[in-house]
Structure 1
Amino acid sequence: MNKTALFLCGLALAGQTALANNIGIGYGATTELYKSDKTGYVLPIVDLEYDNFFLKGAAANGLSFGYNVYQDDFYTLSFYVKPFGGHEIDASDMKDGYKSIDDRKHKVMGGAELSVYTGFYDVEMVTAVDYGKEGGNLLFQLNRPYFVNSKLVVIPSVNFVYFNSDYVDYYFGVDKHELGGNIKHTYEGDSAYTFGLNLTGSYKLTDSFSLMGFAGANKVSKEIKNSPIVDENVVYFVGTGLIYTF
């Protein structure tokens, strides 16, 4: 995904679980995962469903198109394609001393997701797997919506994402020809993970418009943090958006 929007995209829509068929625009500010100067992101948001087909995501690179193959009051099993999966970073966006790297590009990824309403304190469990040419990842997430009143919904969530070694090596590894400036050594990525705590809320302004906000933090494992092109091991983010429901 587009830099640290990897962490923003899922959360931007998590607060919209109580809404159906919505589009919107948001903005997120984040500390940077890569050694990059860019810390703000405009997030187009879409969540559409028709006859078990769906299109959802935040920002172009977070979009997924898929089909719910099974759905009832407790379980939803979906298969999907992400045309712009993975991280993305342009060398031109890196800080001085780190511009010698190759661009990391979006990759087409396919995946499957199982959502389960556990019935335990209204907790929803989500498990998803994505895979493409440059490796893949496995997500495990727990969401618990709190309907404060008829207008306000707050959703705390916790997530764990595992990335295989091919994925980490492509997006965070460093080859010999990329050395230069402040990049002094090569790096071969190994399998890694992130752990996140997030809070998302949605406030209904009118029958058609809602104000959405999100905040949280994600910690990356040492297999990502030790890369010479990665900045911090904890990424913080906050953002807001306006959603139109129809």
Structure 2
Amino acid sequence: MKKIFILGLLVSALSFTAEKEFKAEIGASGFYSNGIYQEKNKGGVIPFLNLSYKNLYMDNTEAGLKFDVGENLSIKAYTNFMDGNLVKGEDLKEGYKTYKKRKTQMAYGGKLSYRTGPVEGYIFAQGGKKGAKGGAGVNYIIPVTEKMAVLTGIKYNIYNKKYTDYYFGVHEDDLGGKLQKTYFSKSSHSYGLQVGIENKITEKFSAVGFFSVERFSKEVHKSPIIKDKNEIRGGLGVKYNF
């Protein structure tokens, strides 16, 4: 469910909506991704929804509380309802269809952000029954015109052993076809960059786009169920704010 989360992050960060007690944005984006699993490149449509009311917020699959501490610092406590990757053996290439379904998880976490001008730095940690991850990143918003802005960002994530083994490992009951050996690893990590753009068309409508590249460590890409260490995603869409 990373595609939804990344799009939601970029859209909410780039929002032109004025600060007010209640905010709502809805939209959809077409996307394309090479995927890192043994599957064909894929595309589709991603809906997104961003809501906020006072200290409450919802960014697509994430909902929680946000507290501002002074002018620059903010703290979030949240639940991510679809953390991780949804992987179905039936969607994989021939020879890998014995791979058992991997489900997303409900994860609970916190995030600390510091913003000064157009720059925001953050750290976060979250975990659920299938494992935990944490990370840090920096986003930079570039105003191009009064109606257009670009967001650039870099990030670094760490996944614990339980998370790595569940989403990237090969277990005994996965074996068959081209999966002849089990694969378990230590904790893993990834790092990447992302670019988002928003162009305000009318007072309510905006066009949005995103592109991201994420590279996974050897603990992930050495797994036989993984075809590529780099995951590339991109998309274009529209949003409406209330």
Match of 1:168 among 161, 164, 167: 164
Give the TM-score normalised by the residue count of structure 2.
0.92
- Secondary structure in structure 1 of the residue aligned to 2:207: strand
Whole-Å Cα distance in 2 between the matches of residues 52 and 86 of structure 1?
Answer: 26
Query: Do the aligned residues in 2 keep the contact of 1:166 with 1:189 (CA within 8 Å)?
Result: no
What whole-Å deviation, never above 9, does each CA across 1:133-156 have from its counterpart, x for those lacking one?
011111211100011111100011
Aligned residues: 235
Matched, 1:126 2:133: no
Give the TM-score normalised by the residue count of structure 1.
0.91
Letter in 2 for 1:13: L
Q: 1:45 to 1:71 in 2, by over 3 A?
A: farther
Q: CA deviation at 1:175?
A: 1.3
Whole-Å Cα distance in 2 between the matches of residues 216 and 78 of structure 1?
Answer: 24
Whole-Å Cα distance in 1 between the matches of residues 139 and 193 of structure 2?
Answer: 10
Whole-Å Cα distance in 2 between the matches of residues 177 and 77 of structure 1?
Answer: 41
Match of 1:96 in 2: 94
Query: Do the aligned residues in 2 keep the contact of 1:16 with 1:202 (CA within 8 Å)?
Result: no
Match of 1:76 in 2: 74
Q: 1:11 to 1:139 in 2, by over 3 A?
A: farther
- Secondary structure in structure 2 of the residue aligned to 1:231: coil
Match of 2:21 in 1: none
Q: 1:176-215 counterparts in 2 under 5 A?
A: 176-215=172-211
Whole-Å Cα distance in 2 between the matches of residues 238 and 41 of structure 1?
Answer: 11
Whole-Å Cα distance in 2 between the matches of residues 95 and 133 of structure 1?
Answer: 28
Following superposition, which runs of at least 4 residues in structure 1 exceed 6 angstroms of deviation?
A: none
Whole-Å Cα distance in 1 between the matches of residues 12 and 208 of structure 2?
Answer: 8
Q: CA deviation at 1:41?
A: 3.3
- Secondary structure in structure 1 of the residue aligned to 2:44: strand
Whole-Å Cα distance in 2 between the matches of residues 231 and 72 of structure 1?
Answer: 46
Q: 1:35-74 counterparts in 2 under 5 A?
A: 35-57=38-60, 63-74=61-72
- Secondary structure in structure 2 of the residue aligned to 1:13: helix
Q: 1:78 to 1:12 in 2, by over 3 A?
A: closer
Whole-Å Cα distance in 1 between the matches of residues 113 and 46 of structure 2?
Answer: 24
Whole-Å Cα distance in 1 between the matches of residues 156 and 207 of structure 2?
Answer: 27
Matched, 1:139 2:135: yes
- Secondary structure in structure 1 of the residue aligned to 2:167: helix
Which structure 2 segments of 5+ residues have no match?
18-23
Which structure 1 segments of 5+ residues have no match?
58-62
Let me know the Cα RMSD of the aligned residues: 1.5
- Secondary structure in structure 1 of the residue aligned to 2:29: strand
Match of 1:17 among 8, 13, 31: 13
Whole-Å Cα distance in 2 between the matches of residues 241 and 219 of structure 1?
Answer: 25
